[in-house]
A and B are shown apart, each in its own frame.
Chain A
């Protein structure tokens, strides 16, 4: 069965610290997609990144980086030099790509990140 686990419910850091948000997933499919979304206090869901299961290359975008490891079924997200504006709930999500799939997103329970000044 498909499942996404974000074991860290809440993380609190001081500005400029690096922080890593963990995501572990379960799927039977060999083809799937992984996502991270940010939900700031205003409530909207902001897309951050999408990876497919065949692309294990790590990605860096400014202060954000993602580490995808199929061997451990993990897709972790690191924020370098965190800022107060990074305070939000971060969701990891999985989409399976089986034939006739609707590609619905299965979300983890989210990690609330609080960056203190």
Chain B
């Protein structure tokens, strides 16, 4: 049973545009929701993370929106750049426990 569902599977956005990736979770015990960025042949790197006591968190061009009642969270990449072309994974965990990862979204930013 997939505990974290991620969409879309892939998206293409023009340079300067906004990339939006959505995730939904089942387990209400989850209390940590990170987004990871992964380039081909590399390990994932933390991009931004949020806890359920806040509805939005912004770091530079990256924003997480969190809807606790809907059990959904999303990543917005503003002013997308070609260097943002990568695969993005959402995840969820409870405390210091293991992560449940989404399926991933391949983002391609065209010049």
Q: Is chain B a partner of chain A in the same complex?
A: no
Q: Give residues in A with beta carbon < 8 Å to B.
A: none
